[in-house]
Amino acid sequence: MMVYFNSSGEVTSVGRAPDSGLQSRGEVAFDQQLNQAMFGLQDIPGADGFQSRYSWAEADGGATSDWQGEYSIQQVGETQRAPMAMFGNDDELIVSTISRNGIAKSPVYSYDELGGLRQRGQLPDEVESGNYGFTAEDGIHVVAESWRGMVEYVAPTPDGPWEKHDLTSLNPHEYKNLKWGFGTRSPLTGNQYLGFGNDQQPGVVLTRESGSWQVLAAPDDMLFPTSMGEITSGENSGTRLICSSTYGETRLHAVDADGTTRKLAEFDGWSYMTADPTNEIVYVASESGQVYWSRFDDLENWQPVQAYDAQGNLQESIGRAGEINIHPGTGQVILPAADSGWIGNNEPMPSMGTTIYAAELENGVPVFRAIDRIEGAGLWELRTAQVGDDLYFGTGLASSQKQDGSAGAIYRIGASGLDDLAAARSYEQRIMPGAPLMIGDREWSPGGSRAS
């Protein structure tokens, strides 16, 4: 079934009648006595937060994820232009920015708590930005908005030297100048992906097999890939998800374990996606102001997510949703949303703000609640990255200049209460060193909180 949504979250058409409603799986429920007897959580300070944060519980149809702690948001530095590529390299954050309107070559920054934010180098060619990136065994990969086809750059460190890899020959489409570049590495499986597109032209996704890049998917109706997700459990285990967008529209595809590619849904607006393995939910967040969700085992049934502001008021629109991600410390899905705007808008915005939302499950159904707000930020892109136990957010700063000429900022979204989680993890390792914990027939692991 294909599902089509408009900017109000309304289904405009479907390939077949959807199910009457999403049914909770209710597959696994923690028994409190067994939980205490096996894991001794009642003896660990802060154990309630650990238990609920990693609980698979779905008693009465409602999964819980009540991590006990508070988020804190701190600006850690400014960049000359708005951040684009943001990703982790061990314990440091790597950032590249837009590089037009007075900047010839894209700078590459790094941030860590000891050295702060500092420029380390620049890409060797004139490109529009270092758009996305990831770290692999062979070095740091930055995928460019190149103006010259499917290009990535690889270096051993952020200082360089940067080696150019032109992958345009792998493009199976007639139109070859797929100059918008995307790249990511799954923290679940380690799989590496590159994606390329250009406006309405058919896009392509590559995956790395045995050291070489190969085409994973290139259907004629795919756009520029903005996000990848992997499903590693349930009926659709082995399925890879591709969210692709251009100005004003998004298409979601699945690549099944047998290599078959199928389109799942279409949405208004440029969008980003993440897959939450702990709760087995996929989210698509759109610049139209809507967020949609589906279960791993029901990828053809999509519903809008309700969102609430800091006062608890239900919102018709959250504004321009940015890059949705999972906080690696708490396991919660985090979403930045700017007050207004759209991808491709370059008009000056002297005032702007971004609200940060976190997902919660109520009776098995996700909702977003505002946890904080950043004034004066939210221009150009809204990007996120996982580094250690922190999530980082980067965006442009409000100014009277055009957005591609305005400065950018990097923020760390930290969380308290993680020491209690670490203590509980340590206890688990002491009682069952090296062995996975099995709840029924499913493996439980804190590592499962890290999603692509």
3-state helix vs strand vs coil in the chain, percent to 5? 10, 45, 40
Note the pLDDT of residue 13: 55
3-class SS of residue 37: helix
Bridge partners, 385 (sequence order) = 392
- Rg of the chain over CA atoms, in angstroms? 21
First and final C-alpha spacing in the chain: 25
Rounded CA separation 423/428 (Å): 9
Rounded CA separation 418/68 (Å): 9
CA distances from 170 to 150, 178, 215 (A): 9, 11, 7
**Domains of the chain as residue ranges with CATH:** 22-61+422-452 (no CATH), 70-415 (2.120.10.30)
Rounded CA separation 327/336 (Å): 12
Q: How distant is the alpha carbon of residue 12 from its chain centre? A: 26
Q: pLDDT digit string (tens) for 268-326?
A: 999 999 999 999 999 999 999 999 999 999 999 999 999 999 999 999 999 999 999 99
Grade residue 422 by pLDDT with cuts at 50, 70 and 90.
low
Q: pLDDT digit string (tens) for 134-161?
A: 999 999 999 999 888 999 999 999 999 9
Q: What's the predicted TM-score (pTM) here?
A: 0.83
Bridge partners, 224 (sequence order) = 245
Residue 63 scores a pLDDT above 50: no
Residue 331 scores a pLDDT above 60: yes
Q: Which amino acid is at 27?
A: E
